[in-house]
């Protein structure tokens, strides 16, 4: 498995979000939770877990938006006693998620940096959706 910090996107996350006061760690992931990049402040295994968990929360948020007729999700915020989590769309089928150092972190500043990063390089961050192989295709089972 490729280390998701040593790639160029990991370096970019470190530069753009890892230096922002109040950011504990950040990950970039596909819409279905596949980790693409992470800051140096979170390990590979924890980054993969965080990406998967964030994708599940995002799915719940999208369902909530549809139920309430919200018109589309922009950002997901979850606040716990010890930290705040922010997730935003970074590009097509790609999300950016941040965990703060505590509940008093400047969410506005962190969110600003997240949106700035997505706007600046979003065209390079897109992820193709994974699709299962067609039935009967190479590698697939036939009846």
> What is the residue-level pLDDT of the chain in tens, covering all 143 positions?
467 766 778 888 999 999 999 999 999 999 899 999 999 999 999 999 999 999 999 999 999 999 999 998 888 999 999 999 999 988 888 899 999 999 999 999 999 999 998 887 776 665 555 556 666 555 544 44
118 CB contacts (<8 Å, ≥6 apart)? 88, 89, 90, 91, 96, 125
**What is the reported pLDDT for 119?**
85
Give the pairing of strands 23-30 and 35-38: antiparallel
**What is the reported pLDDT for 121?**
72
The fold of the 8-125 domain, in CATH, is Beta-Lactamase (3.30.450)
SS3 28: strand
Do 117 and 96 contact (CB within 8 A), yes or no? yes
**What is the reported pLDDT for 27?**
95
DSSP state of 94: E
**What is the reported pLDDT for 41?**
95
Do 13 and 41 contact (CB within 8 A), yes or no? no
- How do the domains of the chain map onto residue ranges? 8-125
Do 30 and 36 contact (CB within 8 A), yes or no? yes
pLDDT digits (tens, 9 = 90+) for 22-62: 999 999 999 899 999 999 999 999 999 999 999 999 999 99
């Amino acid at each position: 498995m490729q280390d998701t910090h040593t790639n160029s996107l990991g370096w970019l996350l470190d530069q753009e979000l890892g230096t922002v006061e109040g950011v504990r760690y950040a990950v970039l992931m596909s819409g279905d939770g596949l980790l693409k990049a992470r800051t140096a402040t979170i390990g590979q295994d924890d980054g993969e877990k965080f990406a998967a968990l964030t994708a599940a929360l995002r799915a719940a948020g999208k369902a909530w938006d549809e139920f309430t007729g919200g018109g589309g999700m922009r950002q997901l915020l979850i606040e716990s006693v010890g930290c705040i989590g922010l997730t935003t769309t970074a590009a097509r089928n790609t999300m950016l998620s941040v965990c703060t150092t505590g509940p008093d972190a400047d969410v506005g500043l962190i969110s600003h940096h997240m949106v700035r990063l997505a706007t600046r390089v979003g065209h390079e961050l897109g992820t193709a959706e994974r699709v299962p192989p067609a039935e009967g295709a190479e590698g697939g089972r036939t009846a």
